[in-house]
Amino acid sequence: MTRPTIHPLGPALTGRCFPPVPPHRTSRSKGPIPMKTLRLMTIGGVIAYRALFNWTTPGMFVGTLLVGPLFQLLFFAYLGRQLQVADDRFYIVGNAVLTASLACVFGGTMAVANERRYGTLGHVLLSPRSRTAVFWGRVLPYAGNGLLIAVVTLGAGALLLGLRIPLSALPGLFLAMAAGSLACGFFGLTLGALGLRFRDVWVVSNVSVALLLLLTGVNVPASGLPGWMTAVGEWLPITHAAEAARRLAAGDGLAAAASPLGQELLVGAGYAVAAAVLLKIFEFESRRTASLDVL
């Protein structure tokens, strides 16, 4: 009797000891791609938010992202009263929308820059998943954070300064602030993509936040700005969201705010596409020149 032949690398390669994988466990039936992409964006975004965005104490979060923007609103509101440039509604609503920019712009930048800083960006770029979906998903928690700040600032500012907002305008205001927060998040992600090329992207982020304060018309009416500033502000987030929020707070209705709200969404979509393109280009260049290893 002849003895059976044993494969020199063991039975694992011969398939004699392990039954075939059932069809429901193969990669062909893991579910539709849109559902997997949605899970990647939502769950992956929350995990990245917990890993990359943190604070030492809750008091630091409240003081930096809630109390600080409220004092900014009060400063410009009382300054506007003294100079008689505009009424309280102009400053309360405008600054409430603007306060989302702090968390969203820096959060979007952190989504890329901190990965490189902590030395984990290479692992993200080696993932077989879509990096575009990964980084787009990371914007969502920061946009939610910015929306929370905007809502708290608007409520506190209206309470302290006695601004009455129609209840019918609240859903539209929530939508306008959400659109502004999302657009700011993608704007920050675009700046974060520059972190694959430049060593210190935080300088760019700080300058960008100052430009949002100056060029979006939240504290100075657009009619009082030079023409080139107004033209630049049209391409920045917050500009159209603040205009839509002011129309809603004045009781004009959602139909009157539909046009600037749509423009804000288009601006956010444009920055989302720009971020995806820059990430692809700089990822390719970093693989070619090994620039990720240079800090």
Residues of the chain with pLDDT > 90: what percent?
42
> What one-character-per-residue DSSP string does 243-269 give?
HHHHHHHTT--HHHHHHHHHHHHHHHH
pLDDT at residue number 21 = 47
Model pLDDT for residues 20-76, shown as the tens digit of each residue? 544 444 444 444 558 888 888 888 888 888 877 766 677 788 888 889 999 999 999
Mean per-residue pLDDT, 231-260: 93
Mean per-residue pLDDT, 91-106: 91
Mean per-residue pLDDT, 113-141: 81
Considering the chain, what is the average pLDDT of its residues? 83
- Residue showing tokens 């409430």: 96
pLDDT at residue number 79 = 92
pLDDT at residue number 3 = 52
Q: Is the pTM of this model over 0.75?
A: yes
At 18, the pLDDT band (50, 70, 90 cuts) reads very low
Mean per-residue pLDDT, 76-90: 90
Distance between CA 176 and CA 155 in Å, rounded? 15
What is the token pair recorded at 129?
């998943």
pLDDT of 272 > 90? The answer is yes
Residue 40's Cα: distance from chain center in Å? 16
What is the token pair recorded at 199?
């060593």
Residue 152's Cα: distance from chain center in Å? 18
pLDDT at residue number 238 = 94
pLDDT of 186 > 90? The answer is yes
Mean per-residue pLDDT, 116-128: 76
CB contact at 8 A, 268 and 186? yes
pLDDT of 16 > 60? The answer is no
Distance between CA 131 and CA 283 in Å, rounded? 10
At 14, the pLDDT band (50, 70, 90 cuts) reads very low
DSSP 15: T
pLDDT at residue number 152 = 94
Q: Residue 272: phi, psi to the nearest 5?
A: -65, -45
Task: Specify the long-range contacts of residues 40-47, CB closer than 8 Å, at least 24 apart.
Answer: 40/129, 40/130, 40/133, 40/134, 40/137, 41/133, 41/134, 41/136, 41/137, 41/140, 42/137, 42/140, 44/134, 44/137, 44/138, 45/137, 45/138, 45/139, 45/140, 45/141, 46/141
Q: Is 67 helix (H, G, I), strand (E, B) or coil?
A: helix
